[in-house]
Amino acid sequence: MSLSRKRKKELRKLQTQANRLWESQQVLVGEAATVAKEARRQLGNYSREQLVPQAKDTYGKYAAPYVDKGISVSRHLVNDKVVPAAGAVVGSALSVWDAANDTRSKFASGRGFSFSPAHLPVIEPPKKSIGAGGVIAIILGVAAALGVAYAAWQTLRADDELWVADDPLRAPDA
C-alpha cells in the first residue's frame, strides 16, 4: 500500500516538527542539568559555610559539656574503682597461685597435708544487682543521647528562609 504525495508531505512535515521538538527538549534538559549542578554547588557551599559551623557551635554549647563531664566521670570511675578492684582480683589470684604452687611442692616432697571437707567454709555467691557505677553509666548515656538529639533538633529545625517556597511557579529571589 503506497501513500499519496500529500500524506508523504504531511508525514515529512510532522517528522521535521518532532525532530525540532526533540532538539529543543535536549537543550532544555541540558540547561536543567546545568541549573541542578549549580544548585548542588551552592548547597555544598551553604552547608560548609552555615550548617557545619552552626552544628559545631550548637554541639559545643549544649552537648560538649555533658560529654566532657561523662568522660571525666568515666575516667574517675575507671581509675578509682575498676583499677583497684582489678588489682585486688589479680592479687588474690596470684596469692591462690602461690598457695597452689606451695601445696604442689609439699606433695612433691612427700609432706602432704590432710584436711576435712567439713571444716571448709561455705561461701554463698553474691547477689547480682546493678551497682552505683551501672546506674551512673546509664544516666550518662541517656544524658549524652539527649544532648545529641537536642543538638540535631536545633540544627535541623525549620527556618522559613531555608526551605523551598510553596509557590513553584514563581522564581525565588536571589
Domain segments of the chain as ranges: 8-108+132-146
Note the pLDDT of residue 111: 64
The per-residue pLDDT for 32 is 92
pLDDT in tens, the chain (174 residues): 688 899 999 999 999 999 999 999 999 999 999 999 999 999 999 999 998 999 888 888 888 888 888 888 888 888 888 888 888 888 888 888 888 888 777 777 766 555 556 666 667 777 777 778 888 888 999 999 998 888 888 777 755 555 555 555 555 554
Question: How many other C-beta atoms can be found within 10 angstroms of the C-beta atom of residue 70?
Answer: 18
CA dihedral 136, 142, 143, 149 (to 10 degrees): 170
CB 103 within 8 A of CB 33: no
Contact 129, 33 (CB under 8 A): no
Q: What is the pTM of this model?
A: 0.35
The 3-state DSSP composition of the chain as helix, strand, coil percent (nearest 5) reads 80, 0, 20
Give the pLDDT score at 174: 45
Burial class of residue 74 (count of CB atoms within 10 Å of its CB; 0-12, 13-18, 19+): middle
What pLDDT is stored for residue 134 in this prediction?
82
Distance CA 62, CA 139 (A): 17
Q: To which residue does cell 606451695 refer?
A: 102
Q: What is the pLDDT, as a whole number, of residue 115?
A: 58
Q: Give dist(CA 158, CA 164) in Å, integer.
A: 11
C-alpha 151/C-alpha 61 separation (Å) is 9
Distance CA 136, CA 67 (A): 13
